[in-house]
Structure 1
Amino acid sequence: MPETSRRTAVFTESMIREMSRVATRHGAINLAQGFPDWDPPAALVAAGREAMDAHRHQYAVTWGAPELRTALGAKIARFMGVPVDAERELVVTCGATEAMMVAMMTVCDPGDRVGLFTPFYENYGADAVLTGATPVHVSLQPPDYRFDPAELRRAFASGLKAFVLCNPSNPCGRVFTREELGQIAALAEEFDVFVLTDEVYEHIVFPPHRHTYFATLPGMAERTLMCSSLSKTFSITGWRLGYVHAAPRIIAQARKVHDFLTVGAAAPLQHAVVTALNFPSSYYEELAAEYGRSRDVLLGYLDRTGLPYTRPEGAYFVMLDVSRFGYASDVEFAHWMTREIGVAPVPGSSFFPYPEHRYVRLNFAKRPETLHAAGERLLRLTEAAPRPER
């Protein structure tokens, strides 16, 4: 029999989704996969029912229902402070996952080089491989996850076609400063590089940090492909609604890629989410405040364990250093923690291109009662002895 493609042998299935399955198997609290354990706003759920009752069951316009793009363009303009042409600058996708794949395939050819900050959300490496591009990694150094400007310059000078920027960052929770973003922008202009931004956590930022939209920096609107979604903002990760926002000449090509990848996102859900895009500013303020409270609950328990971690500036993840337990494999530790402690993390190695086994990632997109229950279990880590050497 013929062999399957060589490119699929380069990466594994998602470790994040795998740990969700392990959590279910052991009855553990799932702090691995980043989804909330509460329902979306009632008005949005009602709009979903109404869209179904209105017989919105057939294909929408391939690149997004007109009323959705209009509402989305208005929402983006409100927060970015720049006008958005909803007809020529947007394509609606099946989540930000497809948005990043569309963006990368739109600007990269096989053999091109794509820069990534490390640690990185695991999909980016797979996206590059599936596109036929070569990942070029730039380190974010723990515990504060800052980059070395000299290393970043070397990466851009190596012949990048595109650079992927996740801000706020998954998995490490960094919110890049305007000065840092300016350094990236200057290199993108100097070396003529596209910047693919993943900004799905744009509204989950904790004071005093502020989110800066990369495309608003001088000269960046023409070379930025902003990938985002409505999943995290409106607690609808299963609805799979995302988008790419870019200059018209780029979107004209991105729409073709999207069309042949998925044809279009779910039509009734596109109509329904217009309701959420018209929520007032107070919704977004409360969203950030709620996640800030959730962060403080989980970090309060982690403080009691004495385990080192990096305080998240945005998004809803925390990287926890578990090296004191003596496991050579963070995957083995994650399975032990899920089974014996009753809380499922993600092995940190899934976010690095090289062997790195010191970390696990936890998420705090959970109700207070879930986080308190998980926290009480996490306190058992203080009683766990380091693994004896074999």
Structure 2
Amino acid sequence: MAEVANRMQGMQQSAIRTMTARCQELGAINLAQGLCQVPPPASLLAEGGRDFGQLDHTYSPADGLAAFREAAAEKLKRHSGLSVDPETEIVTTIGATGGLMATLTALLNPGDGVLVFEPFYGYHLAALKMLELRPEPVRLVAPELEITEAALRAAITDRTRALIVCTPNNPCGRRFSEAELMIVSAVAEEHDLLVIADQVYEDIYFKPAPHLSPATVGTLGSRTLTMSSLSKSFSIPGWRLGYVCGPEELMGAVRVAADPLVGCAPTPLQELGVRALRLGDDYFSDLRAMYDAKRRTLTEGFRAAGLSPNEPEGSYYLFVDCSDLGVASGVEAAEILLQRNLIGTVPGEAFYLNPPERPYVRACFSLPDEVLADAVTRLANGR
């Protein structure tokens, strides 16, 4: 009789998807999963509906349509200051997750250690475990959740080969500063580490300074693979369009790995994705203004309920300290909010290998305004 593979030992459905299912059962508002429930650009939908029959519906090249790679390279230069050769230094993938899986598969071996900053994005951890890599946690220092040199150096072992940095960060919304990324650069240079930069929230931030891409800091450019996607910037997570870019000598292996993993990203959606990637600056300014308003709405709701949300610099999540509920863990806090207020959140423990110092929950504000208003009312009234 067939048996479950050893690599699946200890693997289980994410806390995010589990909470989504519970929200559906109880009729609760789902602030747990980052479903990105805001409308895509109207022009993109209109053009897609008009032109879909005339688009290419065959396979694309394994690394994506040339036009898509060119448009992605243009956007990387415009928004992140990265100069990427679309012919040799970028690969189109099934979302940023596909880029992560291809990168880990191509460049690391089972048993290699990979540093992850706590709190981390849960799928980063899941990908490491699936590929039998060794996650090595580095605690971001509370209350500001900062990268410190002491914590980073203390986490390195003789098996450490890589580091993942997510900025703007999911789940806490931090945008790591140049000083913090210089720490990463110095340590990565000293220990010859591969750096994997996840910047899928690069276009969603709430202060004037533009996105700072890790690969532009210090000596990180020569050792960093940068992942992004169209999901967050254009509210099209279901299209599953992402890309990964980096030095040519590394991207060749990533290109080869991506092919058997996914075949190719959806060809007609890549064609439409070109149009999204070339939207003007006004679109992105409006996107940030929309999310800033949503952020303030949900922040005020949690504060009015006596809780302590952070002030995220980017992404579309709040990281809420629920100490005032009199609980010892985010698991307890999330259960209270679900049962008492019919609001689903994610326990902070889902983003840590070791227990967090405070009872955090994560709450998503990428939802329609009326849903956020309902959530605020439930927080205030207990239902």
Equivalent pair of 1:341/1:378 in contact (CA under 8 Å):
yes
User: How far is 1:45 from its partner?
Assistant: 1.1
Q: Counterpart amino acid of 2:85?
A: D
Match of 1:18 in 2: 18
Match of 1:378 in 2: 379
Match of 1:365 in 2: 366
**After alignment, is 242-251 or 213-222 more displaced?**
213-222
**Sequence identity, in percent?**
38
1:36-62 per-position Cα deviation (integer Å, ceiling 9, x unaligned):
323211111123234521152221111
1:136-167 per-position Cα deviation (integer Å, ceiling 9, x unaligned):
11001232101331121122464421100000
Distance 1:303 1:34 in 2: 21
1:51-106 per-position Cα deviation (integer Å, ceiling 9, x unaligned):
52115222111111111111111111112334321111111111111111112222
Structure 1 residue matching 2:222: 3-state secondary structure: coil
1:242-291 per-position Cα deviation (integer Å, ceiling 9, x unaligned):
11011111111001111111111111111111111111111112211211
Equivalent pair of 2:196/2:224 in contact (CA under 8 Å):
yes
Distance 1:323 1:110 in 2: 39
**After alignment, is 40-49 or 190-199 more displaced?**
40-49
User: How far is 1:327 from its partner?
Assistant: 4.7
TM-score (norm 1): 0.93
Q: Counterpart amino acid of 2:136?
A: V
Match of 1:9 in 2: 9
Distance 1:101 1:51 in 2: 32
Distance 1:49 1:252 in 2: 35
Distance 1:184 1:297 in 2: 34
Match of 1:262 in 2: 262
Distance 2:299 2:82 in 1: 36
Structure 2 residue matching 1:93: 3-state secondary structure: strand
Distance 1:47 1:273 in 2: 11
User: How far is 1:368 from its partner?
Assistant: 2.1
User: How far is 1:309 from its partner?
Assistant: 2.3
Match of 1:197 in 2: 197
1:121-144 per-position Cα deviation (integer Å, ceiling 9, x unaligned):
111111111222111110012321
Distance 1:272 1:112 in 2: 38
Match of 1:32 in 2: 32
Structure 1 residue matching 2:320: 3-state secondary structure: strand
Distance 2:247 2:148 in 1: 30
Equivalent pair of 1:115/1:135 in contact (CA under 8 Å):
yes
Match of 2:282 in 1: 282
Match of 1:240 in 2: 240
Distance 1:95 1:156 in 2: 29
Q: Counterpart amino acid of 1:260?
A: P
Equivalent pair of 2:333/2:359 in contact (CA under 8 Å):
no
Structure 1 residue matching 2:195: 3-state secondary structure: strand
Structure 1 residue matching 2:308: 3-state secondary structure: coil
Distance 2:341 2:15 in 1: 19
Unmatched tracts of structure 2, length 5 or more = none
**After alignment, is 227-236 or 343-352 more displaced?**
343-352
Equivalent pair of 1:108/1:131 in contact (CA under 8 Å):
no
Structure 1 residue matching 2:233: 3-state secondary structure: helix
**After alignment, is 55-64 or 264-273 more displaced?**
55-64
Matched, 1:97 2:80: no
Equivalent pair of 1:199/1:227 in contact (CA under 8 Å):
yes
User: How far is 1:178 from its partner?
Assistant: 0.5
Distance 2:241 2:36 in 1: 16
Distance 2:298 2:42 in 1: 26
Change (3 A) 1:75 1:259: same
TM-score (norm 2): 0.94
**After alignment, is 251-260 or 325-334 more displaced?**
325-334
Equivalent pair of 2:168/2:315 in contact (CA under 8 Å):
yes
Structure 2 residue matching 1:212: 3-state secondary structure: coil
Distance 1:25 1:350 in 2: 21
Structure 2 residue matching 1:84: 3-state secondary structure: coil
State the superposition RMSD in angstroms: 1.8
Q: Counterpart amino acid of 1:129?
A: K
Distance 1:286 1:59 in 2: 34
Equivalent pair of 1:48/1:273 in contact (CA under 8 Å):
no
Q: Counterpart amino acid of 1:204?
A: I
Distance 2:44 2:18 in 1: 30
1:293-350 per-position Cα deviation (integer Å, ceiling 9, x unaligned):
1111111111211212221111111111224434566445434422431211112111
Structure 2 residue matching 1:60: 3-state secondary structure: coil
